[in-house]
Structure 1
């Protein structure tokens, strides 16, 4: 895939080369549960093709049928439409390869071996959506390719919803990195100082008070609302959320919301702001499942 990765090659040619690499290795995937040269090549081709198509030339080749010709082959590519276990193609505004994201706060990554390109989908729109973190809303995405001759279908699968999928006519586990979407939110280098600053001088706290969704809203999952404590920041919860997401049943049935606030503000004021934010969530998503609030230290006082 050397030529497919070359920025000096036209996008259409690069995309066709990725498709050729995936097409040649797809019949050799086996069970998909073990790393083999064929699985690694197929997974890389699926993931890198998705990033290329979504990001190149303003997404000119994204989400409509295209014919792509490389050095040796011509392919007809389409994106699979949304379903229970497949993301809407246009939902995410960009994708990141899992290996490009630095894991700064997570000690043990939640990685699921399987087939497909493990990606982080990022949705960041202007004006910002309510409850979206400043860097956008993220989620684990697995890109797979199915071939019928020279006709190819690219699917953006939801591994948290369904950890397996029928790929090339056989049910196989999906590759996924459930830690990378959290690690996409990089902490400031002076994280401890930021927490102290929020406790001693709330007016200089760099982050706006508010409720933030750590994944796209899902009406089928129960919200867990995390409220940090004194001299702390929302990054306190990264390890906790990462640990919870290691359980496939929790991944499937729960979603994670975080309330951020400078702890130097009066407790009653911060408690009021928390209730206001939850009321806004009730108004925007009136059919959401009853949420569970988890507070630590001062965060517990806000929830009483």
Structure 2
């Protein structure tokens, strides 16, 4: 179905409800207290921390003359010099001094002079990582960079250093447009997930650009934001006095260790910083409300978006948000998964976002269309897990959308409307085909496992509330969606066909969640696809009163599914996805 972003003129006057109405709906849906993600970046702070590490080394020196003492003294001087050069806009010269400090620390680490795990080694690693971070940040802006791996010559106090990107680097030299040192990112509203180790942890950013429209079709509008770590792989000083350094841009989700003096050490990483940077300034509550009330404007921002470069070998995990919600709800879950090697090396994560005021049938169609388009783009031969082995997890109404992917619905949805054959429907052929796409669909054979989180499979009584229904109808839907859900059949014709459900009124997602809504009824009588494994996570607000429990929005009788491989009751409200118990269950 072709979608337009123009709203019905009759509804335009309602597209900006009063703030009171918005907040009333938010309260009515019992949204948990939601925070705004805030981020500040300060590269100068990275330099200060690097200086502190050098000064810490000085305090650890136990003999008057030692390599450690020499590195501590020279690094302090070099870092101060780099700061002065940077203030004079001499970024290439400053980069050379930051690189020199990183090289000196690395060479001492590689010598094995300091015992593994000692305070001196920890301080050297900090000095190396932070200095390398500042070098790489400035190197990204080096006018000599042309996408080639190098070598590029730098100097500091007369010492020359050649830096070159390793041929085995995960990412090529020109892949990222920007790199933000993770150490420079200070965030609120997200739970930090990091890994201590060797290397400069970054947020690698590949921007959306017109020439990349095809390449980045299934990536966020702000571009790809991923954890990346720059490591120093080789560092040798030749007979000519020049030091030659080889570095690699690594994916810390797939690589966990590097070699240092013959032993394996962890690769440093920050798995949260990329999420924080891309969501900076976003309010979960307001973004969700905008997505509900301004569906006509948000439709062009809908789709499936990858959180990392597509991998044809790993199993996709698709996360689907619910009503009056947006993908920001997964901001703590994704880093929690990607920070664990046993998960990050087997799975890749993506999110589906949609205007949450859409009727469920329309959102389900959009989801199916997006999955088909993604497979045609990345896996036209159908050989990847994307086409053969997926996991889908949905929260609240996202759980209903997940259910539509694994239910053998047949003609059950049409039977809710009429006992007459669908083919006898006397309407325009084009509109009839659009309705057929929404009402008749097969389960997705690629989805092997489904996870339902606070899902109202049988509807929610709250959706029948007069105030909730009234406010929900102020949502501004695109013209084609309104046409598909209102005035489908003339009342006189509908009477002749014996329609059991009215098709002459505006329907939003809220009406789609009423216990007697068509999709809810159809799913309740439709069996799951043979072989599908499904799980339920259900909140009871800590009352321990299951099966008479409720999470405050959805009752247990609606969330419970017979035949589930597991059902976990967590002591939470409707935001069960935030529960550590729920996160552990999803991991399991």
TM over 0.5: yes
Q: How big is the shift at 1:62?
A: 6.2
Q: Could you tell me how far apart the structure 1 residues matched to 2:307 and 2:339 are? A: 16
Residue range with higher mean Cα deviation, 294-303 or 27-36: 27-36
Who is 1:16 aligned against?
Answer: 96
Residue in structure 1 matching 2:349, options 253, 256, 269: 256
Q: Could you tell me how far apart the structure 2 residues matched to 1:207 and 1:280 are? A: 15
Secondary structure of 2:99's counterpart equals helix
Q: Could you tell me how far apart the structure 2 residues matched to 1:19 and 1:45 are? A: 7
Q: Could you tell me how far apart the structure 2 residues matched to 1:191 and 1:33 are? A: 43
- Deviations 1:184-205, CA, capped at 9 Å, x for gaps: 2225454312212322442244
- Deviations 1:107-134, CA, capped at 9 Å, x for gaps: 3x11111111111111114124211111
Is 1:275 matched with 2:358?
A: no
Gaps of 5+ in 2: 1-78, 238-242, 405-588
Is 1:46 matched with 2:139?
A: no
Residue range with higher mean Cα deviation, 147-156 or 280-289: 280-289
Q: Could you tell me how far apart the structure 2 residues matched to 1:282 and 1:184 are? A: 28
Distance 1:41 1:278, change over 3 A: same
Residue range with higher mean Cα deviation, 188-197 or 126-135: 188-197
- Deviations 1:257-289, CA, capped at 9 Å, x for gaps: 011111111111111111111111111111431
Residue in structure 2 matching 1:294, options 373, 387, 393: 393
CA contact (8 A) 1:209 1:261 kept: yes
Who is 1:233 aligned against?
Answer: 326
RMSD (Å), alpha carbons: 2.3
Q: Could you tell me how far apart the structure 1 residues matched to 2:311 and 2:80 are? A: 39
Residue range with higher mean Cα deviation, 58-67 or 216-225: 58-67
Q: Could you tell me how far apart the structure 2 residues matched to 1:154 and 1:183 are? A: 26
Distance 1:47 1:169, change over 3 A: farther
CA contact (8 A) 1:227 1:299 kept: yes
Residue in structure 2 matching 1:91, options 165, 175, 200: 175
Who is 1:191 aligned against?
Answer: 284
CA contact (8 A) 2:253 2:339 kept: no
CA contact (8 A) 1:229 1:297 kept: yes
Distance 1:229 1:97, change over 3 A: same
Who is 2:236 aligned against?
Answer: 148
Secondary structure of 2:279's counterpart equals coil
* Alignment: residue pair count: 301
CA contact (8 A) 1:81 1:89 kept: no
Greater fraction of residues in helix: 2
Residue in structure 1 matching 2:123, options 23, 33, 37: 37
Who is 1:131 aligned against?
Answer: 218
| TM-score computed with the length of structure 2 as normaliser | 0.48
CA contact (8 A) 1:244 1:250 kept: yes
Q: How big is the shift at 1:175?
A: 0.9
Secondary structure of 2:104's counterpart equals helix
Q: Could you tell me how far apart the structure 1 residues matched to 2:295 and 2:343 are? A: 34
- Deviations 1:79-121, CA, capped at 9 Å, x for gaps: 11235xx3233222221111333433323x1111111111111
Secondary structure of 2:143's counterpart equals helix
CA contact (8 A) 2:208 2:222 kept: no
Q: Greater CA radius of gyration, 1 or 2?
A: 2
Q: How big is the shift at 1:61?
A: 8.5
Q: Could you tell me how far apart the structure 1 residues matched to 2:222 and 2:103 are? A: 35
Residue range with higher mean Cα deviation, 13-22 or 62-71: 62-71
Q: Could you tell me how far apart the structure 1 residues matched to 2:117 and 2:164 are? A: 23
Q: Could you tell me how far apart the structure 2 residues matched to 1:46 and 1:113 are? A: 15
Secondary structure of 1:118's counterpart equals strand
CA contact (8 A) 2:95 2:134 kept: no
- Deviations 1:150-175, CA, capped at 9 Å, x for gaps: 11112112221121012455422111
Who is 1:80 aligned against?
Answer: 166
Secondary structure of 2:365's counterpart equals helix
Distance 1:32 1:271, change over 3 A: farther
Residue range with higher mean Cα deviation, 191-200 or 60-69: 60-69
- Deviations 1:180-236, CA, capped at 9 Å, x for gaps: 121122254543122123224422448711111111112222111111001111101
Distance 1:206 1:275, change over 3 A: closer
CA contact (8 A) 2:227 2:273 kept: yes
CA contact (8 A) 1:227 1:295 kept: yes
Distance 1:52 1:62, change over 3 A: farther
Secondary structure of 1:68's counterpart equals strand
Q: How big is the shift at 1:147?
A: 0.5
Greater fraction of residues in strand: 1
Distance 1:188 1:18, change over 3 A: closer
Is 1:245 matched with 2:338?
A: yes
Distance 1:173 1:183, change over 3 A: same
Q: Could you tell me how far apart the structure 2 residues matched to 1:89 and 1:118 are? A: 16
